[in-house]
Amino acid sequence: MTEREGQGARKLSFGLIAFAAFAAVCALGFGALGVWQVERLAWKNSLVAAVEERSTAAPLDLNQADWGAIDTGSSEYQRVSVSGRFEGRDTLSQAVTVYGGGFWVMTPLLLDDGRAVLVNRGFVTADQRDAGVERPVGAVTITGLLRASEPDGGFLRSNDPNAGRWYSRDVAEIGAAGGVENLAPFFIDADASGEGYPVGGLTVLTFSNNHLLYALTWFGLTLLSLFALYWLLRDRFRR
């Protein structure tokens, strides 16, 4: 073998080693991502099962419950009931539903013990908002689902309380703007109450779950990387 042929062989050997190392790193990376997606799949299935159980359970009586002991993260979508009177002003937060664009009607419910909870009474269109939104008078009992506050705005925009523009259901901000005291840190999505507006019971309880597809994709790329590594090493050993 001449010196030039030796240099070419060394260059070829270095290139094969580098490419084999790259294929090995890709296989490890893709495999790790696949395992992570499997773990995410298990987490999502557990979440769906927990939400299904909470949303169909017997309602938790919020009049008797210690609100400070409620963890909104682990209790979201819990079925609840509460009795009181609607007081204060309605806050209309932008919404997109199966009925199209419009607003959620958020109204404080005052309990006999002085506590208050924000109730999403349902959806109204812009026309219905302009015509005026009626509300029950006197004592009422609300059943629905407990929901976590939505801080930091929504629709890629921040809430503007001074202008009355609300893009998310930020409980603390809505309560501060309306001067509501002793307000719960969560709100309630009220159940449907019959015909007319506001339309309740529109809580979306479906969650996107593509983790199995993602896991199969990553594992497929892992196999391709391993095949490339095998092909390179086989070719090298033959030489």
In this predicted model, what pLDDT tens digit does every residue of 205-227 receive, in sequence order?
Answer: 877 778 888 888 988 988 988 88
Q: How far apart are CA 24 and CA 229, in angstroms?
A: 7
Q: Give the tens place of pLDDT for each residue, 47-71.
A: 888 888 888 889 999 999 999 899 9
Q: Which helix (H) or strand (E) covers residue 174, if one does? A: helix 171-178
**Taking a C-beta distance cutoff of 8 angstroms, is the pair 93, 169 a contact?**
yes
**Taking a C-beta distance cutoff of 8 angstroms, is the pair 123, 198 a contact?**
yes
**Taking a C-beta distance cutoff of 8 angstroms, is the pair 110, 183 a contact?**
no
Threshold 0.85, pTM exceeds: no
At residue 5 the predicted structure's pLDDT band, cuts being 50, 70 and 90, is very low
Q: Which helix (H) or strand (E) covers residue 146, if one does? A: strand 139-148
